[in-house]
Structure 1
């Protein structure tokens, strides 16, 4: 469980990993494609509360790896962080208003264009499953974080209910088959194409990476969107892959 589940506030209320929060966020997943601003804004404000339960955001230099069009920017800047965003797609970076905002970097998450130990917080939400070498990206995030700084990584689990993103739940029959079905039904390819822009990343792989890396102290390994009382599921192989929507890994850089 988080080190302090009630140490931060969102809209004046303590942040808690409750069932009510989980149901609200699960409902927001329905809007990822038709209304991304609604979906990502909800996740961003929840992220501020969750991240603040580990470290103060005010005065920090924060890098959002895979920040895309900047849905998280306002939420983190309102909390007092100096926000940097990185994405590999210039179109994604300019998506909200057509202009690329300041402190925005075009580059690869697998080779971050930042110096060693240069940032207070490195953050990535629902990006690791879109990277062909996800644990290289995780290593890079640790590298650029200052000693004592925070590394926050969360990703959508392949065998979870939303593992195929807009092709779910047909991804359980295989990513390629799910993509073909999506094409037949909608007359276009899905945004997230299995094997090209979406990959099968598991809970098991995340737990193994957290155990083998040596540069950070592991603070938490939890199902990000699940209520606190259900975090026991990570101890059960098989169950954890299906019941976990999203795995969250939090490290303190040594």
Structure 2
């Protein structure tokens, strides 16, 4: 625990375990950590930050606390108020595939844990790139399917099959699962995503790493096979090409 990066990982994991009971603490902590990750590459003060799929607005609010002009675009109104919170002023209900923004308006385009919920990740990424100015930063993280948390609320039983995992969850909790594979959760993989991003000519990959690992975070994503299980959550830092 002397290593601050290890302390960070443990703190985030503990908060995640209590996410259902104390979402305010969990998401506030996660937003602060994500903003720190962005600011390792670019200060956000006085920058335009577009938060795509940011749910209740915790990330948007954190960027605003740091002096950014930050705006939330979320497709699901119920997600904006899921934890009893009021979405940040100026929030827009909008589809991430078709953002109501002009080209190149954002200094930073931010998307946390959204990609696994979209059927067409390449189109979604293209829209993030479109609204980012040349030289601007794009932050994308997502929970890959073969991560221990890939099945979300019915993880890790998704390793035995999605339908079996959902059925087990519903038997155990007595309530319907929030996610259904192929409807609002999709099996995206680290290797495939990296190949798709690296094949693009409109972005440069600044970093591809595990979002939460305290050590060897970048090395893990370079090992085929292993990375699908060990990455847990893939973080991509991309730079929009001129």
Instruction: Name the TM-score class by shorter chain.
Output: over 0.9
- Deviating more after overlay: 122-131 vs 16-25: 16-25
Describe the superposition over 1:161-182 as per-residue Cα deviations: whole angstroms up to 9, x where unpaired: 1111111110111122111111
**Residue aligning to 1:251:** 238
**196, 201, 205: which one aligns with 2:183:** 196
Describe the superposition over 1:160-206 as per-residue Cα deviations: whole angstroms up to 9, x where unpaired: 11111111110111122111111111111122222221111110122
Distance 1:30 1:195 in 2: 26
SS in 2 for 1:227: coil
- Deviating more after overlay: 45-54 vs 186-195: 186-195
Q: Which runs of 5+ in 2 are unaligned?
A: none
Distance 1:37 1:103 in 2: 21
Distance 2:48 2:176 in 1: 37
- Deviating more after overlay: 25-34 vs 73-82: 25-34
> Structure 1 residue 168 and structure 2 residue 155: aligned?
yes
> Structure 1 residue 149 and structure 2 residue 136: aligned?
yes
- How far did 1:99 drift? 4.3
**Residue aligning to 2:123:** 136
Q: 1:210 to 1:228 in 2, by over 3 A?
A: farther
RMSD over equivalenced CA pairs, Å? 1.7
Contact 2:106–2:131 under 8 Å retained in 1: yes
Q: Which runs of 5+ in 1 are unaligned?
A: 1-15
**49, 56, 71: which one aligns with 2:58:** 71
Describe the superposition over 1:191-227 as per-residue Cα deviations: whole angstroms up to 9, x where unpaired: 2222221111110122112211111121101111112
Describe the superposition over 1:1-53 as per-residue Cα deviations: whole angstroms up to 9, x where unpaired: xxxxxxxxxxxxxxx98222222222222123332222211110101111100
Distance 1:36 1:155 in 2: 19
Contact 1:17–1:226 under 8 Å retained in 2: no
**Residue aligning to 1:240:** 227
SS in 2 for 1:18: helix
**24, 30, 37: which one aligns with 1:50:** 37
- How far did 1:128 drift? 0.7
Aligned 1:117-136 pairs, distance under 5 A = 117-136=104-123
Aligned 1:77-116 pairs, distance under 5 A = 77-97=64-84, 99-116=86-103
- How far did 1:97 drift? 4.8
Distance 2:213 2:197 in 1: 20
Aligned length: 239
How high is the TM-score relative to the length of structure 2? 0.93
Distance 1:56 1:82 in 2: 12
